[in-house]
């Protein structure tokens, strides 16, 4: 998979993709990540990427011209219907649909090339959304200073679901949210620490009992912390 990030702060990403699973996936050529400075696609001498909003109001709006130029250079066209198969151009903004595990998995399974546009200020000129964008995504019902942090979240969540990105083929299947449940509790050595013991069932070697315990604890945790995930599941 190829992931391209469009931002006015490329230095934000200088080291963040050089750790853990994402780094290993890059080294194994499972994913290719490139960060582009939107300013390099401007055409004026001041390299302006934002301007005052028409109609007045607070703040600045990101200009459409450099973003169109960037997508045309990277994807090869600004005509959404002519994007190469498997291409997704994603605008990261608070107005988008909420990013969830099922969305990450859909991207990992269907997309070959993802372009992430990091919004800033009061937002991005709506013509970008109307013409270029295939998906508008939010990572939650709150407002960030820009889409850079969201780009990191999407890149990490999608990359770890790519084939061979994780050390175990079943690791992602047991993640929280995969089956509308949070993950079960986990323990490791030592078996006793400051008077706190690991549940005996995890030490008895009976894998069938362990799996039942894990399923029960996952359901228990979900009911306690995120009962909303179970709506429609228990009916």
d(CA 216, CA 104): 26
CB atoms closer than 10 angstroms to residue 234: 9
Q: Domain holding 200: CATH number?
A: 1.10.1270.20
Q: Do 212 and 183 share a structural domain?
A: yes
If you average pLDDT over every residue of the chain, what do you get? 94
Q: Domain holding 138: CATH number?
A: 3.40.1280.10
Per-residue pLDDT reduced to its tens digit, 99-129: 999 999 999 999 999 999 999 988 999 999 9
Q: Do 127 and 35 share a structural domain?
A: yes
Per-residue pLDDT reduced to its tens digit, 57-79: 999 999 999 999 999 999 999 99
Q: Do 204 and 151 share a structural domain?
A: no
Domain count, the chain: 2
Q: Which domain holds residue 119?
A: 2-159
d(CA 232, CA 205): 35
Catalytic machinery residues: 94, 122, 160, 175
Angle between the N-to-C axes of helices 20-27 and 148-159, in degrees from 0 to 180, rounded to the nearest 10: 70
Centroid of chain to Cα 78: 23
In a domain, 80, yes or no: yes
Q: Do 188 and 153 share a structural domain?
A: no
What's the predicted TM-score (pTM) here? 0.90
In a domain, 97, yes or no: yes
pLDDT at 93 over 60: yes
């Amino acid at each position: 998979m190829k992931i391209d990030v469009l931002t006015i702060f490329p230095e934000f990403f200088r080291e963040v993709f050089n750790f853990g699973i994402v780094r290993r996936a890059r080294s194994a050529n499972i994913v290719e990540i490139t960060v582009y400075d939107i300013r390099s696609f401007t055409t004026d001498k001041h390299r302006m990427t934002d301007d005052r909003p028409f109609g007045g109001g607070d703040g600045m709006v990101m200009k459409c011209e450099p973003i169109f130029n960037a997508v045309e250079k990277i994807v090869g066209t600004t005509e959404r219907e002519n994007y190469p198969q498997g291409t997704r151009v994603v605008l990261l903004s608070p107005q988008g649909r909420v990013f969830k595990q099922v969305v990450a998995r859909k991207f990992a399974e269907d997309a070959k090339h993802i372009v992430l546009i990091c919004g800033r200020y009061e937002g991005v000129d709506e013509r970008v959304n109307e013409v270029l964008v295939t998906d508008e995504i939010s990572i939650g019902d709150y407002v960030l200073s820009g889409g850079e942090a969201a780009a990191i979240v999407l890149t990490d969540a999608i990359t770890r679901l790519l084939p061979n990105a994780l050390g175990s083929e079943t690791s992602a299947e047991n993640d929280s949210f995969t089956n509308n449940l949070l993950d079960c509790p986990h323990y490791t050595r030592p078996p006793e620490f400051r008077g706190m013991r690991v549940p005996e069932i995890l030490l008895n070697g009976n894998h069938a009992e362990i799996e039942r315990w894990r399923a029960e604890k996952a359901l228990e945790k979900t009911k306690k912390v995120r009962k909303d995930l179970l709506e429609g599941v228990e009916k």
